[in-house]
């Protein structure tokens, strides 16, 4: 079994943590939290998925709370968010009708990046720790959607993963790619990157085309 190198997983995690932490910070701003609330939400969003992954895989304490690089990444994301504030204000003064929608869209794209890298890193770490294939797929999916789901629940929103959009599916597909690649013994950095890019492309396509899966709305409204 070709095991993806530690540093490949670390790199993927750092990218995912960074973008998810920023998305968490932006949601915190939108929710009118104070700076510490924003910091906590950024931390939960950035590290939540990986922490759930490690707990499910029995790799405790989770690297999310023990690896200084991860904490540093969240801090860096926090700085970026604070630096973004004036620009968001500026943007809004120029274009009043942007409003909250701007953050919402930005968060969607940041989530797409985090979704992609965490789905892959989650599945790859599960493979590395010798979890059964099905578990690897589930762990990849949970790692990808976990942080965002925690973020949304904490601010009282129904998580993105439950809302009307193709969200969990690309994550699961990315995890499946990793597991299949491992089965064919070709799991390495190239495959990891390829899988992550695939997830990202599918997710962004879903956002831009506003691609939605069928909804039993009529029925849902009635019974």
Site for a copy of itself in 10-69 (CB under 8 A): 28-38, 40-41, 51, 55-58, 60-62, 65-68
Least distance between a copy of itself and beta carbon 193 (Å): 25
Residue 155 within binding range of a copy of itself, rule CB under 8 A? yes
Cβ neighbours of residue 210 closer than 8 Å, sequence gap 6 or more: none
Q: Which is nearer to a copy of itself, 153 or 201 (CB)?
A: 153
Q: Which is nearer to a copy of itself, 112 or 188 (CB)?
A: 112
Residue 7 within binding range of a copy of itself, rule CB under 8 A? no
Least distance between a copy of itself and beta carbon 103 (Å): 5
Residue 204 within binding range of a copy of itself, rule CB under 8 A? no
Rounded CA-CA distance 149/170 in Å is 16
Question: Which tokens go with 131?
Answer: 């979890």
Tokens 């970026």 found at: 80
Residue 2 within binding range of a copy of itself, rule CB under 8 A? no
- Whether 69 contacts 30, CB under 8 Å: no
Residue 166 within binding range of a copy of itself, rule CB under 8 A? yes
- Whether 74 contacts 43, CB under 8 Å: yes
Residues 92-151 that bind a copy of itself (CB under 8 A): 92, 98-100, 102-103, 126, 131-132, 134-135, 138-139, 142, 149
Q: How many C-beta atoms surround the C-beta of residue 106 within 10 A? A: 15
- Whether 116 contacts 194, CB under 8 Å: no
């Amino acid at each position: 079994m070709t095991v993806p190198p530690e540093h490949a997983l670390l790199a993927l995690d750092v990218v995912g943590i960074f973008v998810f932490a920023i998305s968490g910070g932006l949601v915190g701003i939108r929710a009118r939290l104070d700076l510490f609330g924003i910091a906590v939400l950024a931390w939960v969003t950035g590290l939540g998925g990986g922490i759930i992954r490690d707990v499910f895989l029995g790799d405790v304490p989770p690297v999310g709370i023990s690896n200084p690089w991860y904490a540093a990444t969240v801090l860096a994301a926090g700085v970026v968010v604070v630096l973004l504030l004036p620009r968001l204000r500026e943007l809004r003064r120029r274009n009043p009708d942007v409003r909250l929608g701007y953050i919402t869209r930005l968060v969607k794209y940041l989530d797409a990046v985090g979704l992609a890298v965490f789905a892959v890193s989650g599945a790859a770490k599960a493979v590395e720790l010798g979890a059964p294939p099905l578990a690897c797929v589930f762990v990849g999916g949970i790692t990808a959607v976990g942080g965002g789901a925690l973020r949304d629940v904490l601010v009282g929103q129904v998580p993105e993963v439950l809302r009307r959009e193709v969200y969990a599916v690309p994550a699961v597909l990315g995890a499946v790619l990793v597991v299949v690649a491992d089965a064919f013994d070709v799991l390495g950095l190239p495959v990891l990157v390829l899988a992550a890019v695939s997830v990202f492309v599918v997710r962004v396509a879903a956002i831009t085309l506003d691609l939605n899966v069928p909804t039993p709305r009529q029925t849902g409204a009635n019974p």
